[in-house]
Amino acid sequence: MFDYLIVGAGFAGSVLAERLAVAGNKKVLLIDKRNHIGGNAFDYYDNEGILIHKYGPHIFHTNSREVFDYLSKFTEWRNYQHKVLADLDGQQVPVPINLTTINTLYNLNLSSSELEGFFADKAEDVKQVRTSEDVVVKAVGRDLYNKFFRGYTQKQWDLDPSELDASVTARVPTRTNKDDRYFTDTYQSMPLYGYTKMFENMLNHPNIKIMLNTGYREIANEIAFSKMIFTGPVDEYFNYCYGKLPYRSINFKFETFDKEQFQRTGTINYPNDYAFTRITEFKYLTGQKHHKTSLVYEFPTADGDPYYPIPRPENAELYKKYKALADQSDTHFVGRLATYKYYNMDQVVAQALSTFKKIQAEVGIKSMHNNEAAA
Ligand SMILES: Cc1cc2nc3c(=O)[nH]c(=O)nc-3n(C[C@H](O)[C@H](O)[C@H](O)COP(=O)(O)OP(=O)(O)OC[C@H]3O[C@@H](n4cnc5c(N)ncnc54)[C@H](O)[C@@H]3O)c2cc1C
């Protein structure tokens, strides 16, 4: 008899499995329909021996000390500040847009203070900000909107920014200095031996049993357990009773080149040319030394694994109906698919840690420290 059946071995399921097993001394069965742990953060060595991310590039960044300290129990880190360039008009310029971007694109020599005036000059006077297009043209004007946002958004969502909710581009990050880091979070590091190794360390506990290649419907009635935590798609759990929640997916194309380095930085975005949105070269992210190099191209698509909830008001309404069912249920719904929200890894870890605290309060799991010492 298991105390918990946890469906999904990504960050949401694995963090909860670890906490319940170690701090709660609970017996946990963790299942995943895929043939590996780690969810979308899964990485592995390809045929050439290069560490790659199966579901697209995953870069860890967070402002949460709690999340960083928690994960640090399972991995050492390698400092890594991700950098992105956009391939535009035959040049490659920093993203987010900064002083170098503007001076390079327009062949100018502006200072930081002059750049503020440049943006103010270009910005359009939008009275009511409703769509993503409104957000961007109000901040940086139409030319930069066309160069950086319009084509990229069209490829990513198969929608024009004028059809997408303002919340999708709630803020256009622009910088008036030359800071060319993609993220500005306090903690920016990659697990030194990869994500999968980190998950293995997290789940290595006698209270945790793992079953892979197992969909939850296959076993839910076969195995005895007291409580369930579900991290798969919430609409699937409720048999799509209100219809399917829409997602955008991605086809990943991997390629290895017989040279040490392919591009100038970790990721190059292609906002306007080609069917793919970006190319990422893994060795930048992982720091691996190898005489060859592996890349991934991302082709957004309508069909495939559910990756990005499509942020439109009607979808939010549909999710609300599922959430009402979830709120009445005995099962805990945690993670990106179960809450129909695009969360970064650190946000999912934070959500899982706070769910554990709730469970702890509900079922009266005693002091974490005593149990951890006993485990
Ligand atoms: C292309 C891409 C790039 C990303 N890049 C970043 C990044 O750079 N930085 C960052 O912080 N975040 C990034 N993310 C987000 C990150 O992937 C998520 O935050 C994280 O994976 C969420 O963890 P999760 O446990 O909620 O979901 P998942 O990782 O999706 O795990 C859910 C698991 O549940 C399993 N499952 C589902 N249904 C069932 C079922 N019925 N039975 C059994 N198992 C089931 C699935 O197989 C899956 O393994 C990216 C996401 C994508 C799609």
Query: Does position 314 have pLDDT exceeding 50, yes or no?
Result: yes
Cβ count near 160 (within 10 Å): 13
- Nearest in space to 150 (alpha carbons), one of 60, 277, 256, 13: 277
CA of 244 to the centre of ligand 1 (A): 18
CA of 11 to the centre of ligand 1 (A): 7
pLDDT at 372: 43
Most ligand 1 atoms within 8 A of CB, residue of 5, 40, 231, 332 to mutate:
40
Query: Does position 168 have pLDDT exceeding 80, yes or no?
Result: no
Query: Does position 271 have pLDDT exceeding 90, yes or no?
Result: yes
CA of 280 to the centre of ligand 1 (A): 19
pLDDT at 194: 98
Residue 110 is classified by DSSP as -
Q: Which ligand 1 atom is the nearest neighbour of the CA of 215?
A: 42
pLDDT at 366: 57
More confident residue, 203 or 165: 203
Q: Is 293 helix (H, G, I), strand (E, B) or coil?
A: strand
pLDDT at 300: 97
pLDDT at 234: 98
Share of the chain above pLDDT 70, in %: 97
pLDDT at 369: 43
Share of the chain above pLDDT 90, in %: 87
pLDDT at 371: 40
Decide: 51 and 25 in contact? Cβ < 8 Å. no
pLDDT at 239: 97
**Ligand 1 pocket at CB < 6 A:** 7-13, 31-34, 39-41, 55-59, 215-216, 231-232, 236, 250, 307, 335-337, 343-346, 348
CA of 39 to the centre of ligand 1 (A): 5
Edge-first strand order for the sheet with 308-309 is 91-95, 84-88, 267-269, 278-281, 293-301, 247-257, 308-309
Domain boundaries, the chain: 2-37+203-245+310-374, 97-169
pLDDT at 187: 98
Q: Kindly report the average pLDDT of the chain as a whole number.
A: 94
Q: Which ligand 1 atom is the nearest neighbour of the CA of 14?
A: 25
Q: Which ligand 1 atom is the nearest neighbour of the CA of 335?
A: 26
Residue nearest (by alpha carbon) to ligand 1 atom 49: 39
Query: Does position 367 have pLDDT exceeding 50, yes or no?
Result: no
The dihedral formed by the CA atoms of 11, 189, 259 and 41, expressed in degrees to the nearest 10: 0
Reduced to 3 DSSP states, what percent helix, strand and coil does the chain have, rounded to the nearest 5?
35, 20, 40
63-77 pLDDT per residue, tens: 999 999 999 999 999
Report the top-level CATH class of 2-37+203-245+310-374. Answer: alpha beta
**Going by C-beta distance under 8 Å and a sequence separation of 6 or more, which residues neighbour residue 246?**
309, 310, 312, 315
CA of 92 to the centre of ligand 1 (A): 30
Q: Which ligand 1 atom is the nearest neighbour of the CA of 347?
A: 19
pLDDT at 293: 98
Residue nearest (by alpha carbon) to ligand 1 atom 17: 40
More confident residue, 311 or 93: 93
CA of 305 to the centre of ligand 1 (A): 10
Query: Does position 365 have pLDDT exceeding 70, yes or no?
Result: no
Most ligand 1 atoms within 8 A of CB, residue of 54, 214, 231, 349 to mutate:
231
Q: Which ligand 1 atom is the nearest neighbour of the CA of 58?
A: 8
**Going by C-beta distance under 8 Å and a sequence separation of 6 or more, which residues neighbour residue 115?**
99, 102, 176
More confident residue, 40 or 312: 40
- What's the average model confidence in pLDDT over 184-191? 97
9-22 pLDDT per residue, tens: 999 999 999 999 99
Residue nearest (by alpha carbon) to ligand 1 atom 14: 344
